Homo-oligomer: A and B are copies of this chain.
Amino acid sequence: MKKSFGAGTLAFPTPVWLVGSYDKDGKPNVMTIAWGGICCSTPPCMTVSLQRPRYSFDAIMERGGYTINVPSERHVKEADFAGIVSGRNVDKFAATGLTPVRAEFVDAPYVEECPMVIECKLVKTVELGVHIQFIGEVVDVKVDESCLGANGQPDMEKVRPIIFGPMARSYHGVGEFLGQAFSIGKEIKEGV
């Protein structure tokens, strides 16, 4: 039996990402978001949604760029913290001990301690309601060499991103490898 939870933002899994930007004075800031995802393969684009009053909102609009940083589970407290306080009042890098690094291609800082960082150029905003969607073209992705697998590709079990569950507001790690995409389903395909 399925139970109805009505109309709401309840979907598993959602990401936990840190959006990096410089404010008008050049102070680096990060905010935590879970409303986002990849949205286009070519050009490569990602979306993150922000509320207009957020301190990062004007910063991104002014600079036209931002970073999406994938924290690993060892920084789950820092990631949560960056979603609780505002960069208007707090220097989140100083408070957490995380290290801001000027991005290579956009006017924004990335988080050195995050194993995967994505530089985005703002290309479009979409008004949706309480959230405005930022669509960013990915101009570069950098990954810690220590998080690459034997094939040279970023390895989920080394990056160890955080999974967020809305409603229960729970953070989870990633679990075991289940299979290879575009491959394990072929077993069914062959049987059709």
A residues near B, CB below 8 A? 1-15, 17, 34-47, 49, 68, 70, 73, 76-85, 90, 95-96, 104, 116-118, 124, 126, 128-131, 133, 135, 137-145, 148-149, 151, 153-157, 159, 161-189, 191-192
Contact of A189 among B5, B84, B143, B179 (CB under 8 A): B84
Report how far A65 CA is from B132 CA in the complex, Å.
22
Is B42 touching A179 in the complex (CB atoms < 8 A)?
no
Report how far A131 CA is from B155 CA in the complex, Å.
26
Report how far A149 CA is from B122 CA in the complex, Å.
39
**How many identical subunits does the complex contain?**
2
A-B residue pairs, 3 tightest by C-beta: A80-B185, A37-B37, A81-B185
9 additional A-B residue pairs with CB within 8 Å, beyond A83-B185, A174-B175: A2-B117, A4-B142, A9-B41, A12-B116, A41-B131, A154-B165, A154-B168, A157-B172, A175-B175
Report how far A149 CA is from B169 CA in the complex, Å.
12
User: Which B residues touch A104, using CB under 8 A?
Assistant: 4
Is A40 touching B166 in the complex (CB atoms < 8 A)?
no
In the complex, how many angstroms separate the beta carbon of A4 from the nearest chain B beta carbon? 5
In the complex, how many angstroms separate the beta carbon of A18 from the nearest chain B beta carbon? 12
